[in-house]
Structure 1
Amino acid sequence: MKNYYVNKQAQSNGDHEVHTEDCRYLPNLSNRKALDKHGNCKSAVTEAKKTYTQSNGCKTCSLDCHTS
């Protein structure tokens, strides 16, 4: 299980990207919200959507959940 984080700043398309703890695109501390540990990106994105309804997996670290 890995720690997941959601970017507080939306991308240009409105998505808030979900990242793993070891992602090269993990946002700075001030721009991320912790989602706790998850076994996969799907449960992490579900958790992120409780705060940011337009959440999406990072293309690099959460490809299975990257939809746009």
Structure 2
Amino acid sequence: MPRYYVNRNAQSNGDHEVHKSGCSWLPQEENRIYLGLFDNCKPAVREAKKYYSQVNGCYYCSRDCHTS
């Protein structure tokens, strides 16, 4: 099961992106929050919404959850 993280830094549109371990776009350790181990991005996005109201999946590693 992959580890998921949310970026502490928002994108220009305000989204905090959720990334899977191993993603080329995974932020540096100091710029991410560990969310946990999940089968897919959907529960990871739900977990990230406990930290930020505007959350989106990474286009490259969590495409099923990428909405904008």
Name the CA distance, whole Å, in 2 between partners of 1:50 and 1:40: 17
| Shift >3 Å, 4+ stretches | none
Question: Counterpart of 2:4 in 1: which secondary structure?
Answer: strand
Name the CA distance, whole Å, in 2 between partners of 1:53 and 1:21: 22
Q: 1:7-66: per-residue Cα shift (whole Å, max 9, x none)?
A: 000000000000001100000001000001001100000000011110100000000000
Which residue is 2:64 aligned to?
64
Which residue is 1:22 aligned to?
22
- 1:4 aligns to 2:4 (yes or no): yes
Identity of aligned residues (%): 62
Letter in 1 for 2:11: Q
Normalising by structure 1, what TM-score?
0.98
Name the CA distance, whole Å, in 2 between partners of 1:53 and 1:23: 23
Structure 2 residue runs without a partner (length 5+) = none
Normalising by structure 2, what TM-score?
0.98
How many residues end up aligned between the 2 structures? Answer: 68
CA drift of 1:6 comes to 0.2
